[in-house]
Amino acid sequence: MLNAGQLATEVMARCQKLASFSEDSCRIRRTFLSPPMHDVHREIAAWLSRLNVITHVDAAGNLRALYPAEHTSQPRLMIGSHLDTVPNAGAFDGILGFVIGVALLEALEGRTLPFAIELIGFSDEEGTRFGVPFIGSRALVGRLDDNLLNVQNADGVSVRSAIEQFGLNPEAVSQACLPDQTLAYLEFHIEQGPVLERSGLPLAAVEAIAGQTRMEFTFIGRANHAGTTPMHLRADAVAAAAEWIMLAEREAKAVPGLVATAGSVVTSPGVANVIAGEARLSLDVRHRDDKVRGDAVTLLTDRAQQIASSRGLSVQHRTLMNQPAVAMDPFLGNQIEIAIQNVGCKPHRMTSGAGHDAMILAEKVPAGMIFLRTPGGISHDPAESVDVEDVEKAILCGRHLLDQLADEKEFLTRKRRA
């Protein structure tokens, strides 16, 4: 049997190799169907050719490879993650999950299971190039429609054109849909946060992906001279926004699992000697329970109005995104927890505060996720890292999980959602 430690070392090296394929010379950036994605596909295809696994790229740009089952008519388990990155990225977000999938195929050493394993490297999860995330996984659930294909970026390039420029046929996107015989989707991913490290744990089963609300608030006051306007006669939009931001922080801290972030503040006129007449800011609210999230959004919206009124200002708001929470499959969660225990690790379940392709696939098939500890909780940054020992544990966990699923009649006889 191949040594999991050696496989983990190879996984780390492969992630760094893929990181070298970038749109930028001194940092990692690989957006949806950018030229470096050709290099990524060629590199991965070379790894898999040694296993006699043939790869192909579907019309949405997803890299796919099928490891056969014991019999050709048997169903399949899908394992994957995304191959695109944010600008100035680290080497492991998304990519690690796919490369661990390759390592699990290598660990089988030609042994077949009662289900095939389809590896998938999604073309887009981050949404960096077109401002729309999950282009790759949307194609698998039938949501890469004409409206999305016609979305254009700042350069006037459409999703449809990007697919054509990559050498693919956008008219064949419907053929990228999940096969009817797909049993489930499994994704390994770095946590991208500090929870596992703070808990001293290498792995966790993800039981839900938090719902997310994104909004924009604009406090409208009155611009005036910073030196001649007494404090009690001001209608300072920035002061109102600051009061509201601090209130949002207090309210989020009071509710377990709730996070609220004002990540962007733009003031007008935005100069040092003028009281700001307008402050436009973002609000990002997340929780695994949609009612808790909805109640928080309602409260913060009401409080914004109250703060504005008390200061003689007005406030406007609009909702940019309202993504429901997505529960991971309970059966898969239990099996992942057992596999983590079989590796000798303490089991742990947690909610993902970040979105993942698993939340899209969960619309059609049972989905499960395994988180790996992220040192320092750092992600979407060149300092992003993962410990090779944790990768080894993840590979061992995946081995146990595959064997467990192969022995589970409940899993093998599952029907895909309509």
The rounded distance, in Å, linking the Cα atoms of 361 and 354 is 15
CATH code of residue 221: 3.30.70.360
Are residues 185 and 112 both part of a single domain? yes
Domain boundary among 294, 323, 352: 323
320 versus 14: which is more confidently predicted?
14
240-270 pLDDT tens trace: 999 999 999 999 999 999 999 999 999 999 9
* 233 within a domain of the structure (yes/no): yes
* 417 within a domain of the structure (yes/no): no
Are residues 19 and 149 both part of a single domain? yes
* 279 within a domain of the structure (yes/no): yes
Are residues 115 and 172 both part of a single domain? yes
Instruction: Please check whether residue 118 is in contact with residue 76, taking contact to mean a CB–CB distance below 8 angstroms.
Output: yes
Which residue range(s) make up the domain with 317? 211-323
Residues 51, 56, 60, CA angle at the centre, nearest 5°?
145
* 418 within a domain of the structure (yes/no): no
* 165 within a domain of the structure (yes/no): yes
Mean pLDDT of the chain: 96
The values of phi and psi at residue 344, to 5°, are: 95, 15
Are residues 192 and 300 both part of a single domain? no
* 313 within a domain of the structure (yes/no): yes
* Whole-number pLDDT of residue 417: 58
Q: Is 347 exposed, middle or buried (0-12, 13-18, 19+ CB in 10 A)?
A: middle
H or E element that contains 119: strand 116-122
Are residues 136 and 166 both part of a single domain? yes
The rounded distance, in Å, linking the Cα atoms of 113 and 167 is 34
The number of folded domains in the chain is: 2
20-74 pLDDT tens trace: 999 999 999 999 999 999 999 999 999 999 998 989 999 999 999 999 999 888 8
Domain boundary among 281, 306, 323: 323
pTM: 0.90
CATH code of residue 375: 3.40.630.10
Are residues 339 and 301 both part of a single domain? no
Nearby residues of 12 by Cβ (< 8 Å), 6 or more positions away: 386, 388, 391
Are residues 24 and 149 both part of a single domain? yes
Share of the chain above pLDDT 70, in %: 99
